[in-house]
């Protein structure tokens, strides 16, 4: 009996459902980042993952479902990272640096996920736009809470400053990644952190003690 190309395609070993889902998301991330949503195909994702299309469709009913699941996972990782950075210290100057560092670390180590969120070619889709906007809004809300606690600024002002800091972080990091800057990651982080702190550090904080160098 002559094997068909599909029969000859290598298959991965059987995995628990959660592990298989994670593996499929990892492969899909590579394909979507390389080709964009519109050019990527479920056939190629299944082939790279070493599974049949029915197995892929058992986990994700369609390409958009797969894309949204991947986008949601990446968005949750970024938001959790911002929250962790803010909680890593009570010194606000270090908080600023930790948060900026989060964006640069993320694009350095997880560049595919970052580009998937902030470089999506499907942002005209309302569900995709909602997920991307959620990264900005929830990251900003976490930062705004800290600003409100440590200054006398009203909530609206704290939120505006927080959104601006998020923009500074993710746009700067994205530019650093996509432009293949000659600056090293640490130098880039220090530059953007210094800019952010010189701005936000100028607002009155009755609880703040002067830090070294002020």
CATH number, domain of 37, equals 1.10.10.60
pLDDT band at 185 (very low <50, low <70, confident <90, very high): confident
Asked if 51 and 126 sit in the same domain, the reply is no
At 63-118, the pLDDT tens digits run 999 999 999 988 898 899 999 999 999 899 999 999 999 888 887 766 667 777 77
Q: For 70-93, b where at least 16 C-beta lie within 10 A, e where not — what string?
A: bbebbbeebbebbbebbeeeeebb
Which pLDDT score, from 0 to 100, does residue 12 have? Answer: 55
Decide if 206 is inside a domain.
no
> What residues contact residue 162 under an 8 Å CB cut-off, 6+ apart?
139, 140, 141, 142, 143, 144, 147
Q: What backbone phi and psi angles, to 5 degrees, belong to 184?
A: -70, 160
Write the Ramachandran bin of 206: left for phi over 0, alpha for psi from -120 to 50, otherwise beta: alpha
pLDDT tens digits along 170-184: 889 888 877 677 888
What single-letter DSSP state applies at residue 50? T
Is 2 within the bounds of a domain? Answer: no
Instruction: Report if pTM > 0.95.
Output: no
Nearest-angstrom CA–CA distance, 48 and 69: 18
The CATH number covering residue 108 comes to 1.10.357.10
């Amino acid at each position: 009996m002559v094997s068909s190309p599909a029969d000859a395609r290598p298959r991965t070993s059987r995995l628990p459902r959660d592990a298989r889902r994670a593996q499929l998301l990892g492969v899909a991330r590579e394909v979507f980042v390389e080709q964009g949503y519109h050019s990527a195909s479920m056939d190629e994702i299944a082939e790279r993952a070493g599974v049949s299309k029915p197995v892929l469709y058992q986990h994700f009913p369609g390409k958009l479902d797969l894309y949204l699941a991947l986008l949601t996972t990446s968005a949750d990782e970024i938001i959790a990272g911002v929250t962790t950075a803010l909680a890593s210290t009570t010194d606000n100057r270090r908080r600023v640096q930790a948060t900026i560092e989060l964006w640069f670390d993320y694009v350095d180590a997880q560049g595919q996920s970052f580009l998937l969120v902030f470089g999506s070619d499907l942002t005209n889709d309302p569900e995709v736009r909602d997920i991307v906007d959620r990264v900005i809004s929830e990251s900003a809300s976490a930062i705004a809470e800290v600003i409100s606690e440590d200054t006398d600024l009203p909530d609206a002002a704290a939120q505006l400053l927080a959104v601006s800091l998020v923009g500074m972080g993710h746009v700067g990091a994205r530019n650093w990644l996509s432009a293949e800057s000659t600056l090293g990651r640490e130098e880039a982080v220090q530059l953007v952190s210094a800019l952010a702190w010189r701005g936000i550090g100028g607002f009155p904080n009755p609880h703040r003690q002067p830090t070294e160098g002020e």
